[in-house]
Structure formats: C-alpha cells, structure tokens
Amino acid sequence: MFGNQGNGGSVVRKPHSRDRRCDMEEKVRLSDIASELGLSTAAVSYVLHGKTKMVSERTAIRVRQALEERGYLPRAAEVLLAENPSKIVGVVINAHEKYEAHVLEDAFIASALNALSAETAGRGLQMMVRTINGLDEIVSFATMWNLEGLVLIGFCSADYKHLRENVRIPFAVYDACGVTAERVCAVNIDDRHGGFQVGEYFRLCGHQRALCLSDNDIDMDLERWKGFREGFGCGAEFMMIPMIKAERTAFYREKLPQIRSFSAVFAVSDYYAVDLIHFLQSSGVDIPDEISVAGFDDTPLCGLVYPSLTSVRQDNTERARTALNAIAKMRAGEPAEPVITLSTSLVIRNSTRNR
C-alpha cells in the first residue's frame, strides 16, 4: 500500500496535522530509523508495510514508536497529503481467523464497503481500506496518514478503550456494545429486535422447536440470540458452532441428528445460514419442507441461493451515512451521540415456511 522506499529514499517530514510537534522540515529515512534501533532496513520496512509476522512483537512495537516519534511519512503519503489534506477516511476491518484470509470476500463486509465507498465519494472524500490482525496496526495506520477519521468494523467492545487512548482522531465503529469513550460513536443496529422478529415469525409459523446458531455468545450475536429467544419463547435453543469451515462441517455431521430434531434454524449471519443450507441439502434434508432456515444481514447472497434466504435486513447505506456524519461532527469539535441504533426489518423468502 506504500511506495517502495529503498535505503536511500528520503521524504520530507511535515508538521503533524494533529499536534504540530515540529515547525521545521526534516529529512527522515528508513535507514536512519533502522540505524537508531539497531535493526536492518528490511525489518523496519516489514513493520511499515504491515508484515509484522516477519518480526517479533517487541520489534514491531519499537519500530512503530520510532516511526511516530520521527513523523515518518512514506513518499506516497507525502504526495497525497499535500494534495488532499484532511480528505481521507480510513476503514479498518478485523481480519479475524474465521474469515480464513478472505475477509474482503465476506458478503456483509463487501456490502458495508460498497456503501462506505459511495458515501465518501459523494462527500468528496477518499476512502482507504486496511485489514488488520492486531490493534497496534490501527494505531500505526492512523498516525501515518492525515485521516479525517476512522470507521472500524468487526472488533469486540473490549478493543475500543485501548484504541481511544492511543488514537487521537475521531472514529465510528460498527456493532460496538457498551462503548462510551470520548470522540467515539458506535453505529449499531437493533440486533435484539432483529432476532426477536425471526423468533416471533417462526412461532407464528407454527414451529415448536427452533435453534439459534452462532460462533460466539457475546456482543451483537448474544443480543440476536436473546431477541430470538424472546420472540420464540419455550422451545428455542442455542448452539455454538466452530468458526473454521472444515471444523464446522465435521461438527454438523456429528450433530446432524440433533439439528434435524428442530423444524427451524436461525443463523446469526447470512454466511452461516447459507453454509448450513448447503450442508443440510447435501445430507438429504429438504429446505424448507423439513427445516426452515433464516439468516441475518440481508446481503446479496440471499437472492443468489436456492431456496432464496429469509433474512433480517440492515441498511448499510444509512449506516455509512450515519458513521460519516458522526465523524464530521466530532472533527468539527461538536458532540456526537455516543451510540446510534438503526432499525432492522425481516425479509421473508423461500427458505422458510409455515409448519
């Protein structure tokens, strides 16, 4: 993502837009930083480019601190910042192991990025996307670019306190339960009511036993399960599934008799719902005659599978607009609501039926 610097490449250090620590321009080279730390230029370059697996965690932290203290900017960043000061919104996505190195191919992530791309372009902003594996990478990313703000997707609530203490620019986060830090806006959806709508729908369809599937029992997935249980009532059960597909398939084979004892299943994401449908169909289970299946997010996947998937819709366009409005307010020094909750609606398709 950054230009090739080489050992002799130099860039001009500009005053940091947030704290103006330096009024004099100073040439900073990777080789200088490497020499100061007693490291090779390659090691410093690895950290700069996010290849932190090539060095130790301690080395990565030392390099990031040095880069920030020296105000190092890669040549590509220098040109972009000179031409477009404060016109960049960073979008950081958690490359969680459950995505198996394909996070940007996930239907929900792709839909969210599509909406954010359209919204930033409509405001004359640039969007810069980064997938990361550790929180320190966010700090490094935010300090190297003159970002208008950050949009964070896919992190746990426990992560945000650390980020707020180390990142000075405002940011909005998707799906953050219990976030109250200053200059952070949580743009959530009504997960609980979304789950409730599915549970109530299954109950009204005459199902007696219904199952909720998730790979965790915290934050938004917990809210979806709680809402589902409230909407369905007695007969609703929860099952924790493995995140990795191969492990999940083996788990489904083992649990197939138990799964078949339910006439309806609610998966907390469209991906898991589609994955389950494929497994059940390959196992000779008819969808929806034997088991009704519903998902959550209403991604484009829902209309591409057979039968088409019943799902809880969330409006990614509204979410992107809300997130960028909050960042603009905080950037201007105005207070933004710490938590904004957007509504959801149930879209009924052919993967579910009356019992």
pLDDT at 58 over 90: no
Tell me, yes or no, whether 200 lies in a domain: yes
- Domain membership of residue 143 (yes or no) is no
150 lies in some domain: no
Contact 258, 206 (CB under 8 A): no
Is residue 260 assigned to a domain? yes
pLDDT at residue 50 is higher than 90: no
Measured between alpha carbons, how far is residue 282 from residues 67, 173, 279 in Å? 53, 38, 5
pLDDT at 79 over 60: no
Q: Going along the chain, which residue ranges are E strands?
A: 11-13, 26-28, 88-94, 126-132, 147-153, 171-174, 184-189, 210-214, 236-240, 264-267, 292-297, 310-313, 339-342, 345-347
Asked if the peptide bond before residue 288 counts as cis, ω within 30 degrees of 0, the response is: yes
The helix (run of H) or strand (run of E) holding residue 316 is: helix 316-331
Q: pLDDT, tens digit, for every residue of 252-266? A: 999 999 999 999 999
In a domain, 172, yes or no: no
Is 338 inside a domain boundary? no
Amino acid occupying residue 122: G
Looking at the predicted structure, is the pLDDT value of residue 302 above 80?
A: yes
Which range of residues forms the domain containing residue 42? 1-83
pLDDT number for residue 95: 87
Half-sphere exposure of 131 toward its Cβ, with a 13 Å CA cutoff? 14
Number of domains composing the chain:
2
Domain termination site, one of 83, 117, 137: 83
- Strand locations in 133-263, DSSP E? 147-153, 171-174, 184-189, 210-214, 236-240
pLDDT tens digits along 19-39: 433 332 345 677 888 888 898
pLDDT tens digits along 177-220: 766 666 789 999 999 999 999 999 999 999 999 999 999 998 89
Residue 119 CB neighbour total at 10 angstroms: 23
What radius of gyration do the chain's Cα atoms show?
A: 23
- Residue scoring higher pLDDT (30 or 312): 312
Q: Does residue 168 lie in a domain region?
A: no
d(CA 98, CA 103): 8
Distances (CA, A) of 290 to 58, 253, 271, 280: 54, 17, 20, 10
Do residues 274 and 351 lie in contact, with contact meaning Cβ atoms separated by under 8 Å? no
Q: How far apart are CA 171 and CA 156, in angstroms?
A: 15
Q: What is the CATH number of the domain that holds 34?
A: 1.10.260.40
Chain-centre distance for alpha carbon 7: 35
* CATH code, domain carrying 212: 3.40.50.2300
Q: 44 pLDDT band (50/70/90 cuts)?
A: confident
Domain boundary (25, 55, 83) is at: 83
Mean of pLDDT values over 89-118 = 91
Per-residue pLDDT at 89 exceeds 90: yes
Distance of alpha carbon 351 from alpha carbon 310, whole angstroms: 6
Residue 173 lies in a domain: no
Q: What is the pLDDT of residue 157?
A: 67
Q: How confident is the model at residue 303 (pLDDT cuts 50, 70, 90)?
A: very high
Indicate if the pLDDT at residue 16 is higher than 60: no
CB 319 within 8 Å of CB 341: no
Q: Does pLDDT of 124 surpass 70?
A: yes
Residue where a domain stops, chosen among 66, 83, 100: 83
Strands 292-297 and 264-267: parallel
Q: Is the pLDDT of residue 14 over 60?
A: no
The distance from CA 220 to its chain's CA centroid, rounded to whole angstroms, is: 12
Across the chain, what does the average pLDDT equal?
Answer: 84
- The confidence band for 166, taking pLDDT boundaries of 50, 70 and 90, is confident
Cβ atoms of 228 and 196 within 8 Å: the answer is yes
Q: How far are the Cα atoms of 10, 91, 129 from residue 73, in angstroms, in the given order?
A: 9, 19, 18
Distance CA 260, CA 95 (A): 33
Residues 59 and 65 sit within 8 Å (Cβ to Cβ) = no
Span 40-53, mean pLDDT?
76
Q: Which candidate, 45, 337, 38, places its Cα nearest to that of 176? A: 337
List the single range of 77-81, 112-116, 287-291 with lowest mean pLDDT: 77-81
Q: What is the pLDDT of residue 179?
A: 63
